[in-house]
Amino acid sequence: MSIAPGAVWIGDNEEIVGPDGGAGSIAVFDQDLFEGEVDTWDRGKPVGSAHGTFVLTPHGRALTTITLEFEDGSTLVAAGSLPFDSTIGDGVLAVTGRTGRLESAHPRLRVEVSNPKKYSNE
């Protein structure tokens, strides 16, 4: 598993619960996680799973927390605010925790939300 600066992971096969309304709505999601490449959306070998929640605000934002869990037990947790206009938009979250082989990961996680989602450590 790559943890070098610019490492990329693809989240696919998403299951999402919610949101059912506007501001204050909460959604929970789970995804399978695969190795990825910067220039493509192709999935590589399976490496773990992604889990997260978001809460919609009245000002077009989604307060987001994402946990990437890898098969070797390493984790990366990121949180922050992403744009929301009927769907979540691309953005950068602050890495708030990391364990195992990801302890030296960079402090930001870029989230690209085309389906499948792309997570890159920058």
CATH number, domain with residue 106: 2.40.480.10
CA distance 96 to 59: 24
Residue 38's pLDDT is: 73
Tell me the torsion sign for CA atoms 92, 96, 102, 105: positive
pLDDT in the model for residue 48: 92
Domains in the chain, number? 1
Q: 18 falls in which pLDDT band (50, 70, 90)?
A: low
Q: For residue 24, what are the domain limits? A: 8-117
Which pair of structure tokens corresponds to residue 55? 């809460």
- For position 16, what pLDDT does the model report? 62
The per-residue pLDDT of the chain, averaged, comes to 82
Per residue in 47-97, pLDDT (tens digit) is 999 999 989 888 989 999 999 999 999 999 999 999 988 788 899 999 999
Is the pLDDT assigned to residue 1 strictly greater than 50?
Answer: no
